[in-house]
């Protein structure tokens, strides 16, 4: 081969080498460009992933919980030139990021590491300005609650990965998750945001005025058993649930159980009347305290005379209630009745924060006596409200719900629901609750323009240990129903350790502290709910069933108005 031929061959070979080198460099550049794009383009966009959690609305369509798109910073350690330097640079521009901890995550190897989740637009711009290889972004969702703490214990909250951790968010987590069903409809609750706002403001005002440790308020539609409002105080902002204390996250309406004191006399009187052994025309001797074994039962500011059954209820006589309970069969009638009302069982509800009632294992006469006036048994405010709805509503036991009920579904549920009391007992209880507001301990629960029925309750607070009760602290409560002649709504408020003030003459009982809370709610919620004002003829019919006569108060030795039932609902 000549020198010229060999030179040509060498030149041709060099051209091939240069060509393949150029192709190789281009392939490398394309590959690294793809990797850089993958690191800087939000993963949710590139992969076409649409994460979605259904929004939550109230019964009128007002938004209670929704989602916003968020951006998180991620890293691919294998693409980083200097992971340690990258960690230091990122920590300078991202609030809350520790350089050493971040470098440790990078050092674990792998192709993925979280840098910071849910960053602000300013932080995104700062990261982009750094221009670090191997650093990118990922799209995600963040749950937001536009009403803040107003319905915190109903809605609950989610974790950083949008998984439900409390309240409806947890209880109905599967229904709220989008997953493959991206067309899943939003969730409509039974809650009415207007009523929730009213109840929250009134309860908060009550807590502030009476310096209570906490409170619970429930507004229940008696007809449908839909919960229109539920307030538990103290509360928290579900947008920042991580900042809330465990005390603030407690749902006092569903997860706590209380001895509700004389509030329980609604149940005991219903049981006695339903037994057929006690009549609304009966009278009971309350002249002296009642002794059962070594225990003595007294009345608070008792009248120390014979009391008609309406007086026993309206004056909230412990002595009269115990005698009435024993006249109706004692524990043999009492226990099955409470069980039928669901007061021995854990409530069924769409939130996980529920607790089984605390019930005595043994049931001697003293337990039967104390349970009749609300001591020795602890139930949640929710359960008691359900019981009241059964006793003064349709007589059926039907659990409450946080979801809107379809009318057809409601009819089917009521057809299958067990009957607790008869229409006769229902009418008698409605009248007795009206009488309690009209002439008894519940006067502060009255509302001008509405026919309201109610019952007060005050119980020494249980200490949770063998010492029994703290005589310095009480649980005060009031349940109101309206309109009293055909109750559509029940409102219960419970105050934990309220203190009396000058306007209550120092009294901290339910009639002085909890009743004004319920009165304020009914006064504001009634017009919103379209409840008509009381008709004079209905109020007159209630009054006509009352027989008033002068009697001697055995404690004060002064004459007072006594009353009894005239011709009632027989």
Helices (H) then strands (E): counts for the chain: 20, 20
Cβ–Cβ contacts within 10 Å for residue 411, how many? 11
CA distance 269 to 484: 17
Nearest residue to 236 (alpha-carbon basis) of 156, 173, 316, 168: 156
Which residues lie closer than 8 Å to 448 by C-beta, 6 or more apart? 523
4 burial via Cβ count (<10 Å: 0-12, 13-18, 19+): exposed
Residues designated catalytic = 262
Q: Which two tokens stand for residue 432?
A: 């007795």
Give the H/E segment covering residue 205.
Answer: helix 193-210
Query: How distant, in Å, are the alpha carbons of 227, 264, 469, 504 from that of 513?
Result: 23, 18, 20, 8
Q: Is 417 exposed, middle or buried (0-12, 13-18, 19+ CB in 10 A)?
A: middle
Question: What is the number of alpha carbons within 13 Å of residue 436 lying toward its C-beta?
Answer: 34
| Host H or E run for residue 307 | strand 306-308
Cis peptide before 512 (omega within 30 of 0): no
Tokens (6 digits) for 550? 């002068």
> What is the spatial distance between Cα 545 and Cα 489, in angstroms, rounded to a whole number?
23
């Amino acid at each position: 081969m000549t020198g010229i031929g060999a030179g040509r061959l060498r030149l041709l070979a060099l051209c091939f080498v240069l060509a393949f080198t150029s192709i190789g460099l281009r392939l490398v550049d394309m590959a690294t460009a793809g990797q850089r794009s993958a690191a800087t383009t939000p993963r949710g966009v590139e992969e076409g992933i649409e994460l979605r959690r259904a929004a939550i609305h109230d019964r009128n369509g007002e938004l209670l919980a929704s989602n916003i798109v968020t951006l998180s910073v991620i890293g691919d350690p294998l693409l980083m030139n200097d992971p340690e330097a990258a960690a230091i640079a990122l920590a300078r521009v991202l609030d809350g990021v520790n350089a050493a901890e971040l470098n440790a995550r990078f050092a674990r190897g792998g192709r993925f590491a979280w840098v910071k989740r849910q960053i602000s637009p300013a932080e995104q711009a700062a990261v982009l300005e750094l221009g670090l290889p191997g650093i990118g972004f990922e799209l995600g969702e963040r749950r937001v609650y536009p009403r803040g703490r107003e319905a915190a214990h109903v809605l609950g909250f989610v974790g950083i990965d949008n998984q439900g951790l409390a309240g409806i968010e947890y209880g109905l987590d599967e229904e709220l998750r989008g997953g493959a069903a991206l067309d899943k409809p939003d969730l409509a609750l039974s809650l009415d945001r207007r009523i929730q706002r009213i109840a929250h403001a009134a309860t908060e005002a009550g807590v502030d005025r009476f310096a209570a440790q906490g409170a619970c308020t429930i507004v229940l539609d008696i007809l449908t058993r839909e919960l229109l409002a539920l307030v538990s105080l103290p509360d928290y902002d579900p947008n920042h649930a991580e900042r809330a204390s465990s005390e603030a996250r407690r749902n006092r309406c569903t997860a706590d159980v209380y001895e509700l004191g004389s509030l329980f006399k609604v149940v005991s009187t219903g049981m006695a009347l339903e037994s057929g052994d006690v009549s609304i025309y009966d009278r009971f001797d309350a002249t002296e305290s009642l002794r059962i074994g070594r225990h003595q039962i007294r009345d608070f500011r008792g009248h120390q005379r014979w009391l008609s059954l309406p007086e026993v209820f309206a004056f909230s006589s412990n002595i009269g209630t115990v005698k009435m309970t024993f006249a109706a069969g004692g524990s043999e009638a009492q226990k099955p009745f409470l069980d039928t009302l669901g007061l021995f069982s854990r409530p069924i509800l769409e939130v996980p924060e529920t607790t089984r009632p605390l019930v005595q294992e043994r049931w001697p006469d003293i337990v039967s006596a104390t349970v009749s006036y609300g001591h020795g048994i602890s139930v949640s405010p929710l359960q008691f409200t359900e019981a009241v709805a059964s006793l003064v509503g349709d007589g059926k036991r039907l659990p409450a719900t946080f979801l809107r009920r379809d009318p057809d579904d409601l009819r089917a549920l009521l057809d299958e629901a067990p009957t607790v009391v008869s229409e006769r007992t229902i009418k008698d209880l409605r009248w007795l609750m009206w009488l309690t507001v009209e002439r008894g301990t519940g006067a502060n629960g009255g509302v001008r323009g509405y026919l309201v029925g109610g019952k007060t309750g005050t119980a020494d607070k249980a200490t949770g240990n063998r010492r029994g009760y703290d005589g310095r602290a009480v649980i005060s409560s009031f349940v109101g129903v309206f309109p009293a002649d055909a109750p559509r709504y029940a409102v219960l408020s419970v105050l934990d350790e309220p203190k009396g003030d000058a306007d209550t003459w120092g009294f901290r009982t339910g009639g002085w502290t909890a009743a004004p809370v319920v009165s304020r709610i009914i006064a504001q919620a009634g017009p919103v709910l379209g409840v008509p004002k009381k008709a004079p003829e209905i109020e007159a019919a209630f009054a006509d069933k009352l027989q008033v006569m002068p009697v001697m108060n055995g404690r004060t030795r002064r004459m007072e108005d006594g009353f009894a039932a005239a011709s009632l609902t027989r």
